[in-house]
């Protein structure tokens, strides 16, 4: 583990919240379809979005469609596939798509190399492929070779490493760019960004947030450019619940003070 980082301080200002999904809001599971977002965490996310005037977004390697299934009925502002797709607070979508014939050719190549390998899973997204080897650790280097061979054929693609996964995604997109795009528009602009994430793809998000002198929070023990650290997913849940409780208390105090001032003016 690198230099010890402290737990984040209690946040007391006007913030914009950015959450990674897998390994941050939900515990990692053997298969991508097995993760669940607990009801109380959903509840706290909803409250935090309300308390920050909607300045809360998910920024994930998963597709927007997938993320919406986990958070329904809420449709948060969201960046999916590491920023290749994004939906703003008004529901407007910005999609960087790949040509259909390119997606077809990649799918075919990946299937011919990897489809019958036990424990390797090809996850297809609208403009990317994630190659999972959590259940075939001895195949890691073969999976990486295949991903590199694909990327070598297309100038518009790049690799993204993750936990037991290597992804083939469009070049030039990353979570940092997604943070900048959200921060340029309401209700995020003018607020201090906070980003929580656990994996390599989140480092670009931390870097962007650090540029705003914001609050970057690494979940887990690996090396990072984040400035604060939380131990694991349950620690994120506890932090979220504590922040919501604090903001609610502040809102109640402000409202009582307003009542009192209006009462004293009426005397
Ligand atoms: O950016 P994230 O929200 O963290 O998404 C990153 C990738 O997460 C998923 O894969 C990871 O989580 C799975 C479920 O716990 C786990 O089985 C897998 O080994 C991990 O790599 C998701 O499947 C990918 O599409 C995301 O890009």
Q: Please report which confidence band the pLDDT of residue 3 belongs to, taking 50, 70 and 90 as the band edges.
A: low
Instruction: Identify the residue whose C-alpha is closest to ligand 1 atom 20.
Output: 163
Question: Strand 15-19 to strand 192-197: parallel, antiparallel, or no bridges (unpaired)?
Answer: parallel
Q: Please report which confidence band the pLDDT of residue 154 belongs to, taking 50, 70 and 90 as the band edges.
A: very high
Instruction: Measure 61 CA to ligand 1 centroid, in angstroms.
Output: 7
Q: What is the CA radius of gyration of the chain?
A: 20
Higher pLDDT, 145 or 4: 145
Q: How many CB atoms lie within 10 A of CB 201?
A: 25
Instruction: Measure 247 CA to ligand 1 centroid, in angstroms.
Output: 31
Pocket lining: 22 vs ligand 1, CB cutoff 6 Å: yes
Between the alpha carbon of residue 44 and those of residues 36, 83, 118, 123, 238, the distances in Å are 15, 24, 39, 30, 10
Is the separation of the CB atoms in 81 and 62 below 8 Å? yes
Give the span between the Cα atoms of 78 and 63, in whole angstroms. Answer: 9
Q: What is the pLDDT of residues 112-124, one digit of tens each?
A: 999 989 999 999 9
- Packing angle, helices 233-266 and 39-51, rounded to 10: 40
- Statement: residue 1 has pLDDT above 80: no
Ligand 1 atom with minimal separation from the 24 CA: 4
Q: What is the pLDDT of residues 68-92, one digit of tens each?
A: 999 999 999 999 999 999 999 999 9
Query: For residue 250, what is the enclosing H or E element?
Result: helix 233-266
Q: What is the mean pLDDT of the chain?
A: 96
Q: Which phi and psi (to 5°) does residue 176 adopt?
A: -65, -45
Q: What is the pLDDT of residues 13-68, one digit of tens each?
A: 999 999 999 999 999 999 999 999 999 999 999 999 999 999 999 999 999 999 99
ipTM here: 0.98
Is the separation of the CB atoms in 48 and 244 below 8 Å? yes
Q: What is the mean pLDDT of residues 183-212?
A: 98
Tokens of 261: 């001032």
**What pLDDT shows up at residue 2?**
57
CATH numbers and ranges of domains, the chain: 15-96+173-258 (3.40.50.1000), 100-170 (3.30.70.1020)
Tell me whether residue 69 is exposed, middle or buried, using C-beta atoms within 10 angstroms of its C-beta: 0 to 12, 13 to 18, 19 or more: exposed
- Statement: residue 172 has pLDDT above 70: yes
Instruction: Identify the residue whose C-alpha is closest to ligand 1 atom 6.
Output: 61
- Statement: residue 130 has pLDDT above 60: yes
Task: Give me the percent of the chain exceeding a pLDDT of 70.
Answer: 99
What's the order of all strands across the beta sheet hosting 128-132? 121-125, 128-132, 165-170, 157-162
Q: What is the mean pLDDT of residues 204-210?
A: 98
Q: Please report which confidence band the pLDDT of residue 227 belongs to, taking 50, 70 and 90 as the band edges.
A: very high
């Amino acid at each position: 583990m690198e230099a010890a980082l402290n737990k984040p301080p209690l946040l007391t200002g006007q913030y914009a919240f950015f959450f990674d999904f897998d390994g941050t809001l939900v515990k990692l599971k053997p298969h991508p379809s097995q993760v669940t977002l607990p009801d109380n965490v959903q509840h706290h996310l909803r409250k935090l979005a309300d308390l920050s005037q909607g300045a809360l977004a998910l920024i994930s390697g998963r597709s927007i469609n997938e993320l919406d299934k986990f958070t329904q009925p809420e449709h948060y502002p969201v960046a999916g596939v590491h920023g290749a797709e994004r939906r703003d607070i008004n529901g407007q979508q910005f999609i960087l798509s790949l040509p259909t014939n390119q997606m077809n050719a990649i799918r075919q190549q990946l299937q011919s190399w990897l489809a019958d390998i036990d424990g390797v899973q090809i996850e297809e997204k609208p403009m990317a492929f994630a190659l999972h080897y959590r259940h075939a650790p001895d195949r890691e280097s073969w999976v990486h070779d295949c991903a590199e061979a694909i990327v070598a054929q297309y100038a518009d693609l790049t690799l993204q490493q993750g936990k037991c996964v290597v992804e083939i995604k469009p070049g030039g997109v990353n979570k940092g760019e997604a943070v900048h795009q959200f921060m340029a528009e309401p209700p995020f602009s003018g607020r201090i960004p906070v980003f929580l994430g656990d994996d390599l793809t989140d480092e670009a998000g931390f870097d962007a947030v650090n540029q705003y002198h914001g609050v970057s929070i690494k979940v887990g023990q690996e090396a990072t450019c984040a400035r604060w650290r939380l131990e694991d997913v349950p620690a994120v849940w506890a932090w979220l619940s504590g922040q919501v409780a604090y903001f609610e208390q502040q809102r109640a105090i402000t409202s009582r003070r307003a009542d009192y001032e209006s009462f004293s003016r009426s005397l």
